[in-house]
Amino acid sequence: MAGEAQREALIMGVMARLTGDAALAALATGGVHLVRAPQGTTAPYVTVRTYPGRIVPTISRGRAARMVRFAVVARVKGAGSITAERIDERVHELLSDHLPTLVNGYTCMSIRRELDINEPVVDEGVEYDQIGGMYAVWVSGGTG
């Protein structure tokens, strides 16, 4: 239960950070979406997806922190898109230069980009660039 609460607090903090940025909104005109964009969303847009992490125990086997991984990926129509690269750079600035504020007493201890993502795809005959990063986030504390 506490792990799920930490994960939810983290998602809310990251989404608030990304959706509240005017520069990112100007680049990703299709918005920032959790897991996947709604059908019919026009690119460029950003998706945020979380992945299982792990608990970091204290010496007495209590919970010291939880590490959660998440991917933030820009999807832009066309191959070799400068817009996708600019979106990725802006996301990286937003997440690397500022720890998001979390709810219920949780603290975001650090965010580190672990992996670059570059997955071009063809969807119904249209080529898209999908560029972003996988981030590891360390969260501690909490009251709920």
Give the burial string for 120-140 (b: 16+ CB within 10 Å, else e). eeeeeeeebbbbbbbbbbbbb
What percentage of residues in the chain have a pLDDT greater than 90? 53
Distance CA 139, CA 63 (A): 11
pLDDT at residue 53, as a whole number: 73
Q: Which of 137, 85, 139 is nearest to 112 (CA)?
A: 137
Q: What is the pLDDT of residues 88-144, one digit of tens each?
A: 999 999 998 677 777 667 777 788 999 999 999 998 899 999 999 999 888 877 554
Indicate whether 45 pLDDT > 60. yes
pLDDT at residue 60, as a whole number: 63
Give the CATH number, domain containing residue 31.
3.30.2000.30
Q: What is the pLDDT of residues 54-92, one digit of tens each?
A: 766 666 666 667 788 899 999 999 877 899 999 999 999
Name the residue range of residue 73's domain.
2-141
Q: What is the mean pLDDT of the chain?
A: 85
Q: How many CB atoms lie within 10 A of CB 65?
A: 19
pTM: 0.85
Band of pLDDT at residue 9, cut at 50, 70 and 90: confident
pLDDT at residue 80, as a whole number: 78
Domain count, the chain: 1
Residues 6+ apart with CB under 8 A from 98: 17
Query: Prior bond to 38 cis, omega within 30?
Result: no
Residues 6+ apart with CB under 8 A from 21: 90, 94
Distance CA 89, CA 70 (A): 16
